[in-house]
A and B are shown apart, each in its own frame.
Chain A
């Protein structure tokens, strides 16, 4: 199909409109509309990937409104520009969106009764915004789409309980500050280069040798800090745990895997494609400073995750730590680190999805996600727990889950750049994650209280009634997306070579150090 890239947006955008209008008369119709538009969009995404791969320069460009790019500097008008990186992350967004929309039927009906049209409208707009961020080729348009995603995100979180509304306010303040800084930075770029097209900006930076320009340096810092705030990089993370914990199940399952990861994508895009490798890594101090901030970020987030006694809150802090991984992977500045970062964006989205979907099922059956309520869940819902712990093993980084392979490339990156502090902190947080997840397994599997007393009478007696340990799986409409997500975690891990070879094609355009000739 010719314009598959446009169909990626047309499906969810018009789907959301349809939800808003048709939902007034019939609330039941929103769920099928959402699932179908996500399926359509996912199909268009796969089609676009195929087109990108078959194109000579591995890019597909689409001009909205029939503008041309002939004028110099390149780009009057909005260009959607899909290269391999962009379309990979878009596929992650669409895949997660599709699975979550499948999963959403019961949680949405039960947690936000009567608000289905509103919920699905926001849901589809959110996906549109996130996918747009990944595909747009225009720096200002990127800002608009960031705001689309953010505003719908606020709505999706606040639609839940009253506490969620308070958390949203926090998110709103920090999110707006981040976006404003980004916009300010784009303003500086426009002053200096006279274009907003990403390719155009890069061409002019190279052509006019703007690497030492103070204006561009300021622009870089503004854009960079704005993005760091939006991605919840420690210490700008305060909004994230409350927002994700208090949000409705479906919302946290959609936002947690995607929002931070998409912002990492924006950082990589800005660093590599817009400002360029020489500018970002050679003429700024970020390569010296950021890895150390990453060390602080990962340690703090991991320690805070250790202190949590509630699954969703613990996972939220894990996300903050994972953001540290990926930022570190970029700023240790080498080929393997970037492969690791990009691959980790993909794998982290998959495994976070797995964990949040699992947490939603646990919440539904056990009525709590607090650690104390978990005992005996393996016998009660074996499939759910299997899915959940495949995600957990991936976070720890055990083969053959995708988490192992991304962590492998990150560690290798640290090795190549000889950033030992980054490697050590990766090891540290890995061990923290081992503790986190095996502590949960212990709580579920053993008949021992936290203080170490035996609760049962030995021989596998968990000290629970038969009622509590009877086989009682969650509903299929929630279970199947979870199992699919855990299958994806395994498949992406097993076929990581395919994904990595795509990332390598993308990175081959950039001149990155590979650390050869060191003994």
Chain B
């Protein structure tokens, strides 16, 4: 994504956005369990600082300025370099804004359930968000790998938060998949690029090295493509998706922000980066066998949607829905057209807002009623109208109806498919939207329109305000994203 007249300036702001949460950890640990309110103030404060700093770079970017910050020289030719471009900034905005919402929500959720070790929870949450911003602003492959690993490790204590048997199983699957792929699949691919891209004299830079992979032989290109696609297992592409349902043992704020927004989106973001900025659209379109990747993404979308249909546990259903939606993002990248890739980056933002709403609702339902299964939700809509209303909006956005954000990104994905000349992909998109309808709408419909089997649970009412307010805001956000999609579209570099 290189626009002709860009000016590059050196500025410390990307680093502040990355470091602020790390400094916040000190405050969080210092405040500790005894000064809960102070601790949460710290979390809220660093989240706000991060969001402010990230947002302050939007006008710069829209005026054609790219902000860079050189942290230090990591390898002989490869610096640890932060750069704020359209893709990264959009992702960073989404992650940091939703972190604020999640902070408020966590207060309601964690206190409502009297969870243990909340200090640890908030501390590692902050570290995870720091790593997420790092990924968003990374300017080359090694920088992105660095933050990617930081995220894998820092989320482990969050996934195993309950410290029991299920947590152990979930945690093992989680780390097993993520570290196996990053250390054994991704690292060789990086090493390959380091040695042979541009005669070993290479920065692996997303701006400078686009398309140089084209010098390799076809077989090498395909192998590299496969290694990169599967190496970022956080993207949840099948068959490397099972860690995500396993990670649902974590408290809901973690599932909401990390396993619907930060962690999984980091995975797909990395894949998009590699496809668009290391391979480049031209190389990919010429590459025979790249169509298989499109097929793989489509298979992931359809299969995961079918699995989601059969899940009764609400969080697991949402997890499989997430895998399907991540498939959309990968699909956009594999289409290798300007609109496809732009659409996939948009989808990161649109899906984030919709899916976090759904998870917030699932958590709010659990806090208010202790219910985890879709079949238990009958009649809940009347007792928790705001929550279930928000769930409805979130569902519609994920399905992709106007005037909600999800529509915009799906629209560009379809356009991208047509550009590539893959008409069948449009049908896959349609079928999958239908499947989305089948597995998401019944949740809200059951809650609103079916009467409860018995009178138990008549004392249920809305979750604490700290839970309800964030989920209402993100639900409204789904509308807002539709109406501000103009600047977003230009941010991701789609030119009509």
Q: Which residues of A contact B (CB under 8 A)?
A: 336, 393, 396-400, 405, 408, 411-412, 415-416, 423, 427, 430-431, 434, 438, 441-442, 445-448, 452-454, 456, 458-462, 494-497, 500-501, 504, 514-519
Residues of B32-75 contacting chain A, CB below 8 A = 72-75
Q: Find chain A residues with CB under 8 A from B215 CB.
A: 519
Q: Find chain A residues with CB under 8 A from B149 CB.
A: 398-399
B116 at the interface (CB under 8 A from A): yes
Would you give the shortest CB distance from B219 to chain A, in whole angstroms?
A: 10
Residues of B74-110 contacting chain A, CB below 8 A = 74-76
In chain A, what residue has the closest Cβ to B113? A459
Could you pull out 19 A-B pairs where Cβ atoms are within 8 angstroms? Answer: A415-B188, A430-B184, A431-B179, A438-B156, A442-B172, A446-B167, A446-B168, A447-B163, A448-B165, A454-B165, A458-B164, A459-B116, A459-B162, A460-B116, A494-B72, A496-B74, A497-B73, A497-B75, A500-B75
Q: Find chain B residues with CB under 8 A from A336 CB.
A: 195
Q: Which residues of B contact A (CB under 8 A)?
A: 72-76, 114-117, 145-146, 149-150, 153, 156-157, 160, 162-165, 167-168, 171-172, 175, 179-180, 183-184, 187-188, 191-192, 194-196, 199-200, 215-217, 220
**Is B167's CB under 8 angstroms from A412's CB?**
no
5 closest residue pairs by CB, A with B: A460-B116, A427-B184, A459-B116, A399-B146, A412-B191
**Is B145's CB under 8 angstroms from A434's CB?**
no
Known interface pairs A431-B183, A438-B175. Does A415 touch B164 (Cβ–Cβ under 8 Å)?
A: no
**Is A445's CB under 8 angstroms from B191's CB?**
no
Partner pick for A434 among B75, B183, B196, CB 8 A cutoff = B183
**Is B164's CB under 8 angstroms from A515's CB?**
no
**Is B217's CB under 8 angstroms from A519's CB?**
yes
Q: Find chain A residues with CB under 8 A from B187 CB.
A: 408, 411, 427
Tell me if B's interface is mostly helix, strand, loop or mixed. Answer: helix
**Is A446's CB under 8 angstroms from B163's CB?**
yes
**Is A448's CB under 8 angstroms from B164's CB?**
yes
Partner pick for B162 among A458, A462, A517, A519, CB 8 A cutoff = A458
Would you give the shortest CB distance from A365 to chain B, in whole angstroms?
A: 21
Q: Find chain B residues with CB under 8 A from A516 CB.
A: 199-200
**Is A434's CB under 8 angstroms from B175's CB?**
yes
**Is A448's CB under 8 angstroms from B168's CB?**
yes
In chain B, what residue has the closest Cβ to A398? B149
**Is A416's CB under 8 angstroms from B195's CB?**
yes
Extra A-B contacts (19), CB below 8 Å, given A442-B168, A462-B163: A336-B195, A399-B149, A412-B195, A415-B192, A415-B195, A427-B184, A427-B188, A446-B163, A447-B163, A448-B165, A454-B165, A459-B114, A459-B115, A497-B74, A497-B75, A515-B195, A517-B199, A519-B217, A519-B220
Q: Find chain A residues with CB under 8 A from B172 CB.
A: 438, 442
CA distance A427 to B76 in the complex (A): 23
CA distance A496 to B167 in the complex (A): 36
Would you give the shortest CB distance from A394 to chain B, in whole angstroms?
A: 12
**Is A460's CB under 8 angstroms from B163's CB?**
yes
Known interface pairs A393-B153, A416-B195, A519-B217. Does A411 touch B164 (Cβ–Cβ under 8 Å)?
A: no
Q: Find chain A residues with CB under 8 A from B73 CB.
A: 497
CA distance A515 to B115 in the complex (A): 55
Would you give the shortest CB distance from A404 to chain B, in whole angstroms?
A: 8
CA distance A421 to B287 in the complex (A): 29
Partner pick for B216 among A415, A447, A494, A519, CB 8 A cutoff = A519
CA distance A517 to B198 in the complex (A): 10
In chain A, what residue has the closest Cβ to B219? A519
Known interface pairs A431-B183, A494-B72, A518-B196. Does A454 touch B164 (Cβ–Cβ under 8 Å)?
A: yes
**Is B163's CB under 8 angstroms from A456's CB?**
yes
**Is A445's CB under 8 angstroms from B183's CB?**
no
CA distance A415 to B227 in the complex (A): 15
Q: Find chain A residues with CB under 8 A from B196 CB.
A: 518-519
Q: Find chain A residues with CB under 8 A from B116 CB.
A: 459-461
Q: Find chain A residues with CB under 8 A from B165 CB.
A: 448, 452-454
Would you give the shortest CB distance from A61 to chain B, in whole angstroms?
A: 30
**Is B217's CB under 8 angstroms from A500's CB?**
no
Q: Find chain B residues with CB under 8 A from A412 CB.
A: 191, 194-195
In chain A, what residue has the closest Cβ to B199? A516
CA distance A141 to B152 in the complex (A): 49
Partner pick for B188 among A411, A448, A515, A518, CB 8 A cutoff = A411
Would you give the shortest CB distance from A195 to chain B, in whole angstroms?
A: 37
Would you give the shortest CB distance from A378 to chain B, in whole angstroms?
A: 9
In chain A, what residue has the closest Cβ to B74? A497
CA distance A497 to B70 in the complex (A): 15
Q: Most chain-B CB neighbours within 10 Å: which of A397, A399, A462, A519? A: A399
**Is B153's CB under 8 angstroms from A447's CB?**
no
**Is A445's CB under 8 angstroms from B157's CB?**
yes
Q: Find chain B residues with CB under 8 A from A500 CB.
A: 75-76
Q: Find chain A residues with CB under 8 A from B175 CB.
A: 434, 438
Known interface pairs A415-B188, A427-B184, A434-B183. Does A399 touch B164 (Cβ–Cβ under 8 Å)?
A: no
Known interface pairs A438-B175, A459-B115, A516-B199. Does A411 touch B191 (Cβ–Cβ under 8 Å)?
A: yes
Would you give the shortest CB distance from B206 to chain A, in whole angstroms?
A: 18
CA distance A431 to B182 in the complex (A): 11
Would you give the shortest CB distance from A387 to chain B, in whole angstroms?
A: 16
Would you give the shortest CB distance from B217 to chain A, in whole angstroms?
A: 5
**Is B192's CB under 8 angstroms from A446's CB?**
no
Q: Find chain A residues with CB under 8 A from B188 CB.
A: 411, 415, 423, 427
**Is A497's CB under 8 angstroms from B76's CB?**
yes
CA distance A352 to B194 in the complex (A): 28
Would you give the shortest CB distance from B157 to chain A, in whole angstroms?
A: 7
CA distance A446 to B115 in the complex (A): 15
CA distance A448 to B163 in the complex (A): 8
Q: Find chain B residues with CB under 8 A from A452 CB.
A: 165, 168
Would you give the shortest CB distance from A389 to chain B, in whole angstroms?
A: 10
CA distance A448 to B342 in the complex (A): 46
Partner pick for B153 among A398, A442, A495, CB 8 A cutoff = A398
Would you give the shortest CB distance from B144 to chain A, in whole angstroms?
A: 11
Would you give the shortest CB distance from B325 to chain A, in whole angstroms?
A: 29
Would you give the shortest CB distance from A498 to chain B, in whole angstroms?
A: 9
CA distance A501 to B175 in the complex (A): 34
CA distance A517 to B117 in the complex (A): 55
**Is B220's CB under 8 angstroms from A399's CB?**
no
Would you give the shortest CB distance from B367 to chain A, in whole angstroms?
A: 15
Q: Find chain B residues with CB under 8 A from A458 CB.
A: 162, 164
Would you give the shortest CB distance from B107 to chain A, in whole angstroms?
A: 18
CA distance A448 to B169 in the complex (A): 11
Known interface pairs A399-B150, A423-B188. Does A434 touch B220 (Cβ–Cβ under 8 Å)?
A: no
Q: Find chain A residues with CB under 8 A from B199 CB.
A: 516-517
Known interface pairs A411-B191, A412-B191, A459-B115. Does A397 touch B163 (Cβ–Cβ under 8 Å)?
A: no
**Is A430's CB under 8 angstroms from B183's CB?**
yes
In chain A, what residue has the closest Cβ to B192? A415
Q: Find chain A residues with CB under 8 A from B179 CB.
A: 396, 431, 434
Would you give the shortest CB distance from A514 to chain B, in whole angstroms?
A: 7
In chain B, what residue has the closest Cβ to A494? B72
Q: Find chain B residues with CB under 8 A from A496 CB.
A: 74-75
CA distance A393 to B117 in the complex (A): 24
CA distance A292 to B195 in the complex (A): 23
**Is A397's CB under 8 angstroms from B164's CB?**
no
Q: Find chain A residues with CB under 8 A from B150 CB.
A: 399
CA distance A500 to B76 in the complex (A): 8
Q: Find chain B residues with CB under 8 A from A461 CB.
A: 116
CA distance A336 to B192 in the complex (A): 13
Partner pick for B164 among A396, A446, A497, CB 8 A cutoff = A446
CA distance A355 to B150 in the complex (A): 21
**Is B200's CB under 8 angstroms from A514's CB?**
yes
CA distance A462 to B217 in the complex (A): 55
**Is B163's CB under 8 angstroms from A445's CB?**
yes
**Is B72's CB under 8 angstroms from A445's CB?**
no
In chain B, what residue has the closest Cβ to A433? B183
**Is B184's CB under 8 angstroms from A447's CB?**
no
CA distance A399 to B142 in the complex (A): 10
CA distance A347 to B90 in the complex (A): 38
In chain B, what residue has the closest Cβ to A427? B184
